[in-house]
Every structure is written in structure tokens, then in C-alpha cells.
Amino acid sequence: MSKRAGKLSFIVCGGGMIGLSVALGLRQQGHQVQLIERGQQPELSSEFGARVSAIAHSSRALLQQLGVWQKLPAERLGPYTGMQVWEHDSFARIDFNAHEVTRTDLGAIVENQLLEHYLWQAAAEAGVTIHSGVTSVAEQISDDQVSITLSTKLGNKQQLSADYIIAADGANSQVRQRAQLPLTFWHYQQHAIVATVHTELPHQGIARQAFTPTGPIAWLPLADSQQISLVWSIDDPHSEHLLTLSAERFTQRLQSFSNNSLGQLTLASERHRFALKMQYCQRWLQQRLLVIGDAAHSIHPLAGQGANLGFADVSQLLDVFAEPREDYHRTLRQWERERKTAAMTMIAAMEGFKRGFAGDNPLLKLLRGSGLHIASRVAPLKQQLMQIALGG
Ligand SMILES: Cc1cc2nc3c(=O)[nH]c(=O)nc-3n(C[C@H](O)[C@H](O)[C@H](O)COP(=O)(O)OP(=O)(O)OC[C@H]3O[C@@H](n4cnc5c(N)ncnc54)[C@H](O)[C@@H]3O)c2cc1C
């Protein structure tokens, strides 16, 4: 890979959907890019993957620009045209429909593994040098260069250098930790139980969410009109118990929260459990190190916005490197400021939803019911809620 005049070199650490996107985008701009991933390219499977993401319009636009969205098999995409949000055991309810914002859909549910598979393929084809099965174990970062040490599974060491390193190595980012970037975090004291569920009635392309006293439950419509992806966020004392229930008892409990809108439910996959934590890195730029995606921020999945925030980090970062600049650092500082503000706003919104719907005090329930009732009738308020759903 030869370096053209005015072009830079990058090392991206982490080949999740965010690392792969930034690597591909930078390569398409003509920069030299190396990507380090401790795993391998995710395989394509004929079964729906249990981990999915609601991809907002803004993220889809980026993926289209990268030429990847067009490659995703249409029969695996679950576009959703409506959203229904309600509180269990209360009259609080709000419905959104794509036509209210003159769109054909509000977003699409995509399997993480599928998206990562196609991003990986596109990155390799575009000329990103991918080092898979290796881990970054040390970085030397200065004001004008970075060099990193890799370790292979056999314990061999290799040295790489570049103009910039981008940490996209997820919520437990080791690159961020080694750089000692300050981190704000708190545990949500909840886990998310994730599974694929077969529904008796068609889901009609509607993403459903119920707020219960122990946490929100989301039923996300998959491409198959009778399969949904479940994200059941539940307070810690209860989450382990849910996993020990038989499949039948588990779906009975689930059904009791579903307003019977999907008929009889049947588990169609294993149940997976994820600890939920809010994390916010206070510095996203330090000398030649940039931090993006879950390495920079991780939020509650209740509004399905974690990956969407990461895609927005990528999109704005690609704008910075799209053309040669006298002073990249100044523009990167601005990028950092804007992205931190966007992440903080989303974190605050998630916190508001989560706390606002916690507990089953009857007075609070009445307030929530009235609040949603008003929101569903006041166009600007509803538009604002829909804007969050669409990715800001
Ligand atoms: C239950 C649940 C539901 C969610 N639903 C949604 C949703 O609907 N919509 C949405 O937008 N977001 C959603 N999210 C959030 C979304 O999944 C994450 O924001 C997104 O996956 C983060 O991507 P990433 O590439 O930043 O990090 P990751 O996906 O964590 O990728 C990091 C990569 O780095 C690699 N790596 C780690 N350390 C090293 C190392 N030292 N060397 C080399 N490689 C390394 C890892 O192997 C991994 O491939 C959800 C999250 C959860 C938990």
C-alpha cells in the first residue's frame, strides 16, 4: 500500500462495526489503514444472530456512502415502520409512525454479525490491511506519531507505526486504559437478556417497548414477519432468575408484558445475558490517539442508540480527514467537542427515560401516563422524541 502525497496513515484497534466502518471510510479517502482485531471475520450463518442493532437513518446513510448497506441481503433486514411504547399496567402509551416524519421506515433491525461480516469484506477489498487474531499490547503515542506492539496467539510480537491510532476496541478498551484517559461510569444495576423469539401473530414491522417496574423490554421486528429480537433489560436481582426459568415459563412471563399484541411467544434461540453499564470517556483525543464507539461511550440499550452514536463519531471523523489540513489537531478538538456533547445528550436522555419509568408508585404512573398522553398529542414534543429514535 503506497502512501500518496497529503495522505495519512492510521492504525485502527478493534474490528467491531465501528472500527471496521472508520477503517473502510479512511481507506476510501486514500489513506493508509491497518486494522487490528483479536478475533476473525464473523461468519455468515443461515440462522438469525441473537445480537441485533436498530440502525437509524443517519447510520444507514453512512453505510450507504461506504457501499456496504447495498450489499446486505434484503431478506435479512428488518425495516420498522412503527414504534409502540407503553407502560405495563397503566394507560401510558405513545405510538410513532414513519409517515409522521414523511419516511418509509423509522430504521432497520440488522444482525451485528451480518453487518460486521460485510464491513470486513468491504474493508479488505478496499485495501485495509487487516491483522486478525492479534491483540494490541502496548502503544507509544507522541505529538507526531504512534507505534504499537502486537501480540499474536503464538506469542510473537510485531511493531507497527502510523500517524494516528484510533481506539475502537469496545467498552473495555485496553488502548483507552493504557493511555489512562479518565472515565466516568456507573452500573445500571441491570442486565439485558437477549434472544430470538417466534411470534404467533406477525409483528407488522413495529418495534415495541414496554416499561415495567423492573426495566424496559423491547421486541424488535426481524426480517421474518414472525420473529422478533428480544432485549429484556431487568434489575439485577431478577436477571439471573430469568435465565434459570424453563423456556415455557420464560415466554409466559414475557407474554404477560406484551399486551398480547404478538400472540403466543416461543423461544427460538439461546438466551444471552449482558451487564449494562454507562461509560463516558472524558478525553477522546490525546496527542495522536482518537477514541470512538463503545470505547468512548456506552449507554443503556433502551433506545437502541449505542451503535448509532458510534456511527456518528465515524461520520464526523471522516469529514475531518476528507481533505488535507494545515492543522488537524484544531479540527479534531472541534470534532471531540461536538461528539462529546452528542454523547452526553444521549446519556442524559437515556437516564431520564430509565429513571422516569422506574418503580410502580401509582402517582408517578399517573404522571407518566399523562406525560405520554400529552406528548402523543403535542406535535413538536412528539417530533422531538421521534428525532431521538431516528438517531438525533
Ligand atoms: C443488549 C444490547 C442491545 C443493543 N442494541 C442496540 C441497538 O438496537 N442499536 C444501537 O445502535 N446500539 C445497540 N447496542 C449497542 C451496540 O451493540 C454497541 O454500541 C456497538 O456494538 C459498539 O460497537 P464497537 O465497534 O464500538 O465495539 P465492539 O462491538 O465491542 O467491538 C470492539 C472490537 O474490538 C476487538 N478488541 C477488543 N480489544 C482488542 C484488542 N486489545 N486488540 C484487538 N482487538 C480488540 C473486539 O474483539 C471487538 O471486535 C446494544 C447493546 C446491547 C448490550
Query: pLDDT for 169-183, tens place per residue?
Result: 999 999 999 999 999
Q: What is the pLDDT of residues 307-362, one digit of tens each?
A: 999 999 999 999 999 999 999 999 999 999 999 999 999 888 877 776 666 666 65
Written as one string, the DSSP assignment of 195-228 is: EEEEESS--TTEEEEEEETTEEEEEEE-SSTTEE
Of 220 and 377, the one with more pLDDT: 220
Same domain, 229 and 321: no
Q: Output the nine-digit C-alpha cell for 302.
A: 433502551
> What average pLDDT does the segment 286-300 reach?
96
Rounded Cα distance, 91 and 255, in Å? 18
pLDDT at 117 over 80: yes
- CA nearest 41: which of 99, 96, 105, 123? 123
Does the beta carbon of 37 sit less than 6 angstroms from any atom of ligand 1?
yes
pLDDT of residue 319: 98
Specify the ligand 1 atom closest to the Cα of 192.
1
Please indicate, yes or no, whether the overall pTM of this predicted structure exceeds 0.85.
Answer: yes
Question: What does R_g of the chain's alpha carbons equal in angstroms?
Answer: 21
pLDDT of residue 352: 74
- φ, ψ of residue 141 in degrees (nearest 5): -120, 125
Pocket test for ligand 1, best of 51, 158, 294, 311 (most atoms within 8 A of CB): 294
Does the beta carbon of 215 sit less than 6 angstroms from any atom of ligand 1?
no
| CATH code of the domain covering residue 289 | 3.50.50.60
Q: Does the residue 154 lie in any domain?
A: yes
Same domain, 172 and 288: yes
Same domain, 196 and 258: yes
Q: Does the residue 64 lie in any domain?
A: no
Q: Does the residue 63 lie in any domain?
A: no
Same domain, 301 and 325: yes
Tell how far the Cα of 190 is from the centroid of ligand 1, in angstroms.
18
pLDDT at 152 over 60: yes
* Smallest CA separation from ligand 1 atom 49, residue: 16
Q: Does the residue 235 lie in any domain?
A: yes
Rounded Cα distance, 173 and 41, in Å? 19
Does the beta carbon of 306 sit less than 6 angstroms from any atom of ligand 1?
yes
- φ, ψ of residue 18 in degrees (nearest 5): -80, -45
Does the beta carbon of 59 sit less than 6 angstroms from any atom of ligand 1?
no
pLDDT at 99 over 60: yes
Question: What is the count of structural domains for the chain?
Answer: 2
Same domain, 77 and 174: no
Pocket test for ligand 1, best of 132, 169, 274, 313 (most atoms within 8 A of CB): 169
- H or E stretch covering 157: strand 157-162
Same domain, 37 and 120: yes
pLDDT of residue 380: 57
pLDDT of residue 123: 98
Q: Does the residue 15 lie in any domain?
A: yes
Does the beta carbon of 304 sit less than 6 angstroms from any atom of ligand 1?
yes
Of 33 and 371, the one with more pLDDT: 33
Question: Is residue 238 exposed (0-12), middle (13-18) or buried (19+ Cβ within 10 Å)?
Answer: middle
Same domain, 206 and 272: yes
Q: What is the pLDDT of residues 242-272, one digit of tens each?
A: 999 999 999 999 999 998 889 999 999 999 9
Binning pLDDT at 50, 70 and 90, where does residue 113 land?
very high
pLDDT of residue 188: 87
> What average pLDDT does the segment 5-11 reach?
89
Rounded Cα distance, 24 and 65, in Å? 11
Host domain of residue 137: 9-42+113-182+282-351
> What average pLDDT does the segment 199-220 reach?
93
Binning pLDDT at 50, 70 and 90, where does residue 377 land?
low
pLDDT at 220 over 80: yes
Q: Does the residue 50 lie in any domain?
A: no
Contacting residues for 255 by C-beta, under 8 A, at least 6 apart: 264, 265
* Smallest CA separation from ligand 1 atom 1, residue: 192
pLDDT of residue 316: 98
Q: Which residue has the cell 464507539?
A: 293
pLDDT of residue 359: 61
Binning pLDDT at 50, 70 and 90, where does residue 95 land?
confident
pLDDT at 376 over 60: no
Q: What is the pLDDT of residues 12-53, one digit of tens each?
A: 999 999 999 999 999 999 999 999 999 999 999 888 888 999
pLDDT at 136 over 90: no
Same domain, 154 and 198: no
Give the per-residue SS3 of 97-125.
Answer: EHHHHCCCCCEEEEEHHHHHHHHHHHHHH
Q: What mean pLDDT value characterizes the chain?
A: 90
Tell how far the Cα of 16 is from the centroid of ligand 1, in angstroms.
6
